Amino acid sequence: MRDGLGPARVRLKGGPVLAELTDRFGEAASAKVRDGEVVTTAGAVVDADTSLPPGAFVYLYRELREEVPVPFDMPILYRDNDIVVVDKPHFLATMPRGAHVAQTALVRLRRELHIPTLSPAHRLDRLTAGVLLFTVRREVRGAYQTLFARSLVRKTYLARAEINPEVELPTVVRSRIIKERSRLQAFEVPGEPNAETLVEDVGDGVYRLTPRTGRTHQLRVHMASLGLPITADPLYPNVIEVPPDDFTRPLQLIAHRLEFDDPLTGERRAFVSGRSLA
């Protein structure tokens, strides 16, 4: 672990490692080999003579690109020896991916709390704000992640959208949602439903959303399918390009409440976001 970040794992095509890393990532990667900063899965240092089979992995720390700082605080809602629960702001990714590495909730928390073993028990979309739970120790990580994987956590979201009297609410939306790497949007296809959301109108253009599954962009897709796209959504129903330094129109979607039986103590836990819709 280095400054809140773990090393990048690189899957190799096979053959001399130095030549492959130089060909794929340039002189910077070559320099890391010469400096002894690349290691194998077994922990052996890669040198100029190392050759590995196809499918082998090596690990190295990336040089971070400059990122636009997300100018919002992330209050801690709860902390003990096992978990940390935060109120994630809009625009902050849960964990490193793609262009968002240092400007993520995970890296920010690791640096602020000096806990390198922090790990998210679940994820929120970068544009979604609200309650996000991290585990502190490796020994408890699986227990909390399993709660989310088995849908044993009751999650309640609040969203703002236009008022459409033609949409009968409450309603349960069920559909099959697919997300392909090559497309920004998730989309619905015919077939057995894999996504389910209870949508309730709580007045003044605010909706309570209770997902019973956790597909990528599920709430945003389901609201758009009802003719109630979430306010300031840059993807649904249409893709709108937003500059990376434009924080003026946050998606009006908040992970408002998490509730579950603690897998270690059996205690009923509930955490509520202090954020509100615009």
d(CA 196, CA 175): 7
Amino acid letter, residue 30: S
d(CA 36, CA 52): 16
State yes or no: pLDDT of 6 exceeds 90: no
pLDDT per residue as tens digits for the range 164-209? 999 999 999 999 999 998 899 999 999 999 999 999 999 999 999 9
pLDDT per residue as tens digits for the range 24-60? 989 988 899 999 999 999 999 999 999 999 999 999 9
Residues composing the chain: 278
d(CA 130, CA 91): 11
Q: Does residue 128 sit within a domain?
A: no
- Structural domain boundaries, residue 26: 8-60
**Can you give 167-205 as a three-state secondary structure string?**
CCCCEEEEEEEECCCCCCCCEEECCCCCEEEEEEEEECC
What average pLDDT score do residues 111-137 get?
97
* Residue bearing tokens 């306010």: 231
Q: Does residue 1 sit within a domain?
A: no
Between 5-9, 159-163, 172-176, 192-196, the lowest mean confidence (pLDDT) is in 5-9
Q: Does residue 21 sit within a domain?
A: yes
Q: Does residue 136 sit within a domain?
A: no
Q: Does residue 123 sit within a domain?
A: no
**Contacts (Cβ under 8 Å, ≥6 apart) of 188:** 175, 176, 177, 178, 221, 225
Q: Return mean pLDDT, the chain.
A: 95
Q: Does residue 206 sit within a domain?
A: no
Burial of 187 (0-12, 13-18, 19+ CB in 10 A): middle
- Element of type H or E holding 147: helix 138-149
Report the DSSP pairing between strands 119-120 and 15-16: unpaired
Number of structural domains in the chain: 1
pLDDT per residue as tens digits for the range 185-196? 999 999 999 999
Enter the DSSP assignment of 9. E
Q: Does residue 31 sit within a domain?
A: yes
Amino acid letter, residue 5: L
Q: Is the dihedral of CA 271, 154, 176, 230 positive or negative?
A: negative
Q: Does residue 231 sit within a domain?
A: no
Model pLDDT, residue 28: 87
Paired tokens of 53: 């089979």
Q: If pLDDT is split at 50, 70 and 90, which confidence band does 248 have? A: very high
